[in-house]
Structure 1
Amino acid sequence: MEKEKLKWVTNSSLTVDFRISDVLAIKPGEMRIGLDFGIGTGTFVARMREHNVTVVSTALNLRAPFNEMIAPRGLVPLFITLNQRLPFFDNTMDMIHTAGFLDGWIDLQLLDFILFD
């Protein structure tokens, strides 16, 4: 539980992690809506909500019922499979976040399909 409280708020031991404050500083005041394409429990989405940014989560149910954890937290889950197009118009999102998703477990053809959106 302590790890989740500090995630994306303090400096991480992983060099690929960005603090939310660093992400928001890229375009101050301009980030309002985003997409979290990942396999987590919605902690990133909850942290962004603390900064008045609405982030839709596509958390997948991989070895755990993550989607069932997102809605009770007051967050917005998106129930889709990997082979579905995202239901958003072009240029809708101010940011897209992913963590633990693009690390080699997805077939390259399917990854190309996902990244098209």
Structure 2
Amino acid sequence: MAQNQSLEELLKKIREQEQRLDSTEIQLAFEKEPDQAKRRAFIKDRGSYRNARIQLENKILEKTAKNLKPLESQLEEGIKDLEISLRKLDNTVAILSKIENVTNILGSIVTIL
């Protein structure tokens, strides 16, 4: 989870830098640049920066979805079992067990996120 937090913080900084690269201040600085090759390079590099950030975000989402997929069916089953126990109300131990099961699955999901 700490790795996800540090990655999220880095992505936040990347997004902030991307906003800065899109700012009027930076845009005007490059428009004043007499060398047209440098102006074109800025536009190209700024686009590459944006694309790299998007690719990184997509990879993170793909990995997260891949890690969550196995837990999805477990969570559905756990919720269904808890719902059945809650309807019956005849076995408090079973209800407690089902609550613990669903809570553990949710904890696993939170760890991945």
Q: Name the TM-score class by shorter chain.
A: under 0.3
Structure number with bigger Rg: 2
Higher strand share: 1
Higher helix share: 2
